A and B are shown apart, each in its own frame.
Chain A
């Protein structure tokens, strides 16, 4: 087994409405702890039920940025080369309560929303839901479309 990543998706063949990824992600308290450490976001509403309740929340909630970062990973896998993502934006519409034990399931679907051949970009719309409730609003990634005839792997000294 090698560490070679999958071949990048050929962006020139994209069509509007095409589904690029449909993934499910389990989010547990363990996930929140790992994200807190990785991101440096140690707001106690993401690990302490008492503090979360004082803040008027139903309990510990997932970091919005964890949700944003996780919801795009199905698309990253489908692209093969994550560096094709040049923009990513979202609104945080609903918090995700995370139980003390067990997990919740984040479902993410990435679909081609628009293609701008002149600019060399494509917009991918990401729908992220937990139990049928949308947790991100207007989540959109911008992809760089390789220029026609561009060769991967050029630039070796």
Chain B
């Protein structure tokens, strides 16, 4: 029996964490998978020569951490989201500074909105990523469409 996303989750912010260390190996793997060929993604010496503390993450790299963080909400049975009916609607990355290998990022999930639209439901989430001192590093916004009957 299909469920319907519960609008009461809108506005909810989850506890921050856990801290995630950005891995050079995962950056290289992601760059290869998307065809991002710059040596700045794979060669630490080239990245340092360009002024970065470690190899540089491609612009969409944080999707993995964001989706793992969103799971707190999406996979909560009380949220009422039938994942077999979910289609990815929109995605937005905001990078306040480049993300590099060795960064230790603290994710915080907020459910921005849950709304009905033409027989479907649209849920929008935001994952804010800060460093351990609390400085903003990036934000990842996702809009998922949950298809109705």
Contacts and interface: CB of A to CB of B under 8 A. Distances in A.
Interface of A: 3-5, 25, 31, 34-35, 37-41, 54-55, 64-66, 68-70, 72-73, 76-77, 80-83, 85-92, 141, 152-155
B55 to A, nearest CB: 11
A41 B67 CA distance: 8
B90 A82 contact: no
Contacts of A90: 90-92
Interface residues of B, number: 40
B92 A87 contact: yes
A41 B59 CA distance: 17
B94 interface: yes
Interface in B41-91: 41, 43, 45-46, 49-52, 56, 58-60, 63-64, 67-68, 84, 87-91
A4 to B, nearest CB: 7
Interface string B93-118: 11110100000000000000000000
B94 A87 contact: yes
B84 A55 contact: yes
A4 B46 contact: yes
Nearest to A25: B35
Nearest to B28: A38
B38 A65 contact: no
B37 interface: yes
Q: Chain A's interface: helix, strand, loop or mixed, by majority?
A: mixed
B129 interface: no
B38 A5 contact: yes
A71 to B, nearest CB: 9
A89 B90 contact: yes
Interface centre among B35, B45, B64, B95 (most CB of A within 10 A): B35
Contact of B40 (A72, A81, A86, A141): A81
B8 interface: no
Contact of B90 (A55, A86, A91): A91
Given A65-B91, A82-B38, A87-B94, A38 B67 contact: no
B38 A77 contact: yes
B32 interface: yes
Given A39-B63, A83-B56, A89-B92, 14 more contacts: A3-B39, A41-B64, A41-B67, A65-B60, A66-B33, A76-B58, A76-B59, A82-B56, A83-B52, A83-B98, A90-B91, A92-B88, A141-B59, A154-B51
